[in-house]
């Protein structure tokens, strides 16, 4: 059976911990590989390689870093089909979704290619007599990224291209559930000409993460995952004096006002709720319908579209949704549907009994639609992270806003309406980090930054974009005075400069 190992110093490094984990094809349920799980000593080896590489990489010119990033972008583009196939094989998402993931990751590489502009400092001349002050930004050193299973290429690409462009070196710990994409990303970086140790990959689970958090040579940690783990990562990083950005979970609401085009709203809700089997932190989890008439008409449209979705293996071009990542996760998600019925919700579409012919062992789950869901129900309170869409009904805009702002999460939200004034009011009043107006998944483009509020973000900085550059660098202010050659004949005055 194939073994998936680490990548350190531009070389594949076989595991030596004696521990490994299974990697499955979610469409069949069969194990396809084993992944080495790093010991603390193996993490130390990767950090040491990154620490050594930082000595010279931090001094590499912006022109040189940019040239390598442009080469990397071209290699990623040339290998996008191969990357997408790896994602589909280990995560299960359909090929079109996998290609879309690679494309969104490429956006951040393209952002990193503009690093000479992004790292421009500031200069104030003659702040006092003969005194200038400059502000510059410098790299941190070795930084680490811990990334989730749902986007095995895109989320790493949110992190390491910006970090490396800023002059840092990087240690990536991807999800052990779908680790192959990370190795291809690293191998292409080597082929682009990045020196050994600039980008390293350690496969692993909790012990690897804990060692990265504790290692004295790791200056900062980026994380994307669930809220409980994000909170723990923040705590562990701060305890060891590290900078941290930890993106947690979400319960994204989509507000539908009575004047909205309900066919457009329904189409967008279906795509945002069930795309990638709902395994997205930006998935629409709850549709909030204002008014009973709006709710009735919208639920009818949602049900009709949900029942028509084609579910099958990700490598089948006719499939619109693939399986979930593991059998355990499938069972967990499926349990929310009967629980919601018992708690008073109306199960309009129940996908828990789906069987895909020829793939009976796969981790497939049909889509479910729950109506009249209230905040007390588990399906509303929890991040389900699967193809279950809830509909909540309210009587007014104010009630909808209170419902959405009452959530402990604040990742993303959306409003569907024809009323520009209502949309403007919502985007200013809602408590979320990303807002879509007639856009269901408001994931910012690469030159803006991604991140939520409340329990969706732990740390001060959002990921990629301008905030990503600030996270991976630290500021330095330089105050300088040089004697004017025209007045140097009378000697140099070493006293405190005056403002005259």
Catalytic residues: 281
Per the CB < 8 A criterion, the answer to whether 43 and 208 are in contact is yes
Instruction: Please tell me the distance from the alpha carbon of residue 476 to that of residue 195, in angstroms, as a whole number.
Output: 27
Per the CB < 8 A criterion, the answer to whether 305 and 272 are in contact is no
> Which two three-digit tokens encode residue 365?
């789950």
Per the CB < 8 A criterion, the answer to whether 169 and 199 are in contact is yes
Instruction: Please tell me the distance from the alpha carbon of residue 8 to that of residue 14, in angstroms, as a whole number.
Output: 10
Nearest CA to 212 out of 120, 314, 144, 159 is that of 144
Using DSSP's 3-state secondary structure scheme, residue 47 falls into: helix
What percentage of the chain's residues is helix, strand, coil (to nearest 5)? 40, 25, 35
Q: What is the CA radius of gyration of the chain?
A: 25
CA 174 to chain centre: 12
Q: DSSP label at 487? A: G
Torsion of CA 308, 309, 313, 317, to 10 degrees: 90
Task: Tell me the CB-side half-sphere exposure of residue 107, using CA atoms within 13 A.
Answer: 18
Burial class (CB in 10 A: 0-12, 13-18, 19+), 443: middle
Q: DSSP label at 421? A: H
Instruction: Please tell me the distance from the alpha carbon of residue 167 to that of residue 100, in angstroms, as a whole number.
Output: 28
Nearest CA to 152 out of 111, 186, 180 is that of 180
Nearest CA to 198 out of 147, 233, 160, 246 is that of 160
Per the CB < 8 A criterion, the answer to whether 493 and 475 are in contact is no
């Amino acid at each position: 059976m194939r073994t998936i190992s680490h990548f350190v110093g531009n070389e594949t490094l076989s595991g030596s911990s004696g521990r490994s984990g299974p990697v499955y094809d979610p469409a069949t349920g069969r194990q396809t590989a084993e992944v080495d799980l790093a010991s603390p000593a193996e993490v130390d080896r990767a950090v040491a390689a990154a620490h050594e590489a930082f000595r010279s990489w931090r001094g590499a010119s912006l022109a040189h870093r940019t040239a390598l990033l442009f080469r990397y972008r071209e290699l990623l583009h040339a290998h996008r089909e191969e990357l997408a196939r790896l994602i589909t094989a280990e995560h299960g998402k359909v090929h079109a979704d996998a290609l879309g993931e690679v494309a969104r990751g490429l956006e951040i590489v393209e952002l990193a290619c503009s690093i000479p502009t992004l790292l421009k400092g500031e200069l104030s001349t003659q702040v006092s007599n003969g005194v200038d002050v400059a502000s510059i930004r410098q790299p941190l050193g070795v930084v680490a990224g811990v990334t989730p299973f749902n986007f095995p290429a895109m989320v790493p690409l949110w992190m390491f291209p910006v970090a490396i462009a800023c002059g840092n070196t990087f240690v990536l710990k991807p999800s052990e559930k779908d680790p192959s994409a990370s190795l291809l990303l690293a191998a292409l970086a080597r082929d682009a000409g990045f020196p050994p140790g600039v980008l390293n990959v350690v496969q692993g689970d909790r012990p690897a993460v804990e060692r990265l958090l504790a290692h004295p040579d790791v200056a900062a940690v980026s994380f994307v995952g669930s809220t409980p783990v994000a909170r723990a990562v923040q705590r562990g990083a701060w305890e060891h004096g590290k900078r941290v950005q930890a993106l947690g979970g979400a319960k994204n609401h989509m507000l539908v006002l009575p004047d909205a085009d309900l066919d457009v709203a329904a189409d967008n809700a279906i795509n945002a709720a069930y795309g990638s089997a709902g395994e997205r932190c930006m998935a629409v989890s709850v549709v909030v319908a204002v008014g009973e008439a709006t709710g009735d008409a919208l639920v009818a449209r949602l049900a009709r579209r949900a029942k028509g979705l084609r579910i099958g293996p990700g490598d089948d071009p006719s499939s619109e949704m693939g399986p979930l990542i593991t059998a355990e996760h499938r069972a967990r998600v499926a349990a929310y549907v009967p629980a919601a019925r018992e708690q008073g919700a109306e199960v309009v579409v129940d996908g828990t009994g789906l069987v895909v012919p020829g793939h009976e062992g796969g981790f497939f789950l049909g889509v479910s639609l729950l109506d009249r869901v209230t905040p007390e129900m588990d399906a509303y309170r929890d991040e389900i992270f699967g193809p279950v869409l809830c509909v909540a009904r309210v009587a007014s805009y104010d009630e909808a806003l209170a419902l959405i702002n009452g959530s402990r999460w604040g990742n993303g939200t959306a409003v569907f309406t024809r009323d520009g004034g209502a949309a403007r009011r919502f985007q200013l009043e809602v408590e979320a980090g990303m807002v879509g107006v007639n856009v269901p998944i408001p994931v910012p483009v690469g030159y803006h930054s991604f991140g939520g509020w409340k329990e969706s973000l732990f740390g001060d900085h959002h990921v990629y974009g301008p905030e990503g550059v600030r996270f991976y660098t630290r500021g330095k202010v330089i105050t300088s005075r040089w004697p004017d050659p025209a007045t140097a004949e009378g000697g140099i005055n070493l006293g405190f400069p005056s403002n005259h």
